[in-house]
Amino acid sequence: MSLRHALLALLEAEPMSGYSLARFFEQSVAYVWHAPHSQIYPELRRMHEAGLISGRSEARGTHATKTIYTLTKEGRAELARWVEEVTPSQRERDAGYLKASYLEYASFASARKQFEAHRAHHEEQRRRWEAHVRNLENRDTDLLRIRLAQNAELADAVVAYKVHVYHGLIDRAKHEVRWATAGLKLVDELEAGFRAGKKAAPRKRRTG
């Protein structure tokens, strides 16, 4: 249900068309919760059917129309309920770490590629999040300007909470980069031992 609540939070800023929602989603929510447009539009229909949002048609050009979505009283109540509720921690489910647990079955070159790809991904994420933090601290995003204009008394909290989230993600990305770098060093050490004729690292014992 996180996608639903993210969309409710966006509409809390101001009424939007589906196109605007998708654009603002990409500029903000997508940094922490990825969802393609193919998921956003069906969810908007479900939210409308559930009475969480209302929609009105507006002209778009001379022949087309667009739907403008607005948060309803029920939608605001659901957003408030979700924010107040403590979110349970998620159980681990990481494909990269799962595969790394069995890299003894891969070649050294393949293992190295796995760690290099992991490191490159998280280095890019770190750069994106750091750039976004700078924009937030400068109060220089389209959506943030809308929120601050409507919630001037909460401006410091609006910015501070979001910056705190991205600092956490940046720290996580830095940890993943260090982990992948250590993995590359491990591959080098194992390969060097193998080439020197030493006994390779033992395979993990099968448990099931």
pLDDT in tens, 70-106: 999 999 999 999 999 998 888 888 999 999 999 999 9
pLDDT at residue 197 tops 90: no
Sign of the dihedral defined by the CA atoms of residues 13, 18, 20, 21, in that order: positive
Whether residue 7 is found in the same domain as residue 71: yes
Domain boundary among 58, 84, 110: 84
For residue 34, pLDDT over 80 is answered with yes
- Nearest one of 89, 47, 46 to 70, comparing CA atoms: 47
Return the higher-pLDDT residue of 202 and 84: 84
Same domain, 78 and 99: no
Residue 208: the pLDDT is 43
Q: What is the pLDDT of residue 201?
A: 53
What stretch of H or E contains 66? strand 64-71
Percentage of the chain surpassing pLDDT 70?
Answer: 94
Are the C-beta atoms of 33 and 3 separated by less than 8 Å?
Answer: yes
For residues 36 and 201, what is the distance between their CA atoms, to the nearest angstrom? 42
Residue 28's domain comprises: 2-84
| Tokens 């750091």 belong to residue | 130
DSSP annotation of 206: P
Element (H, E) at 70: strand 64-71
State yes or no: pLDDT of 200 exceeds 80: no
Residues 59 and 120 in one domain: no
> pLDDT at residue 202 above 60?
no
State yes or no: pLDDT of 66 exceeds 50: yes
**Residue 187 CA from chain centroid, whole number:** 30
Of 146, 138, 142, nearest in space to 12 by CA: 146
CA distance 70 to 15: 5
Q: Is 9 a residue whose pLDDT tops 70?
A: yes
The number of domains in the chain is: 2
Confidence of residue 204 (pLDDT cuts 50, 70, 90): low
Do 76 and 103 lie in one domain? The reply is: no
Q: Write the pLDDT tens digit of every residue in 155-192.
A: 999 999 999 999 999 999 999 999 999 999 999 999 99
Q: Is residue 36 part of a domain?
A: yes
Mean model confidence pLDDT for the chain: 91
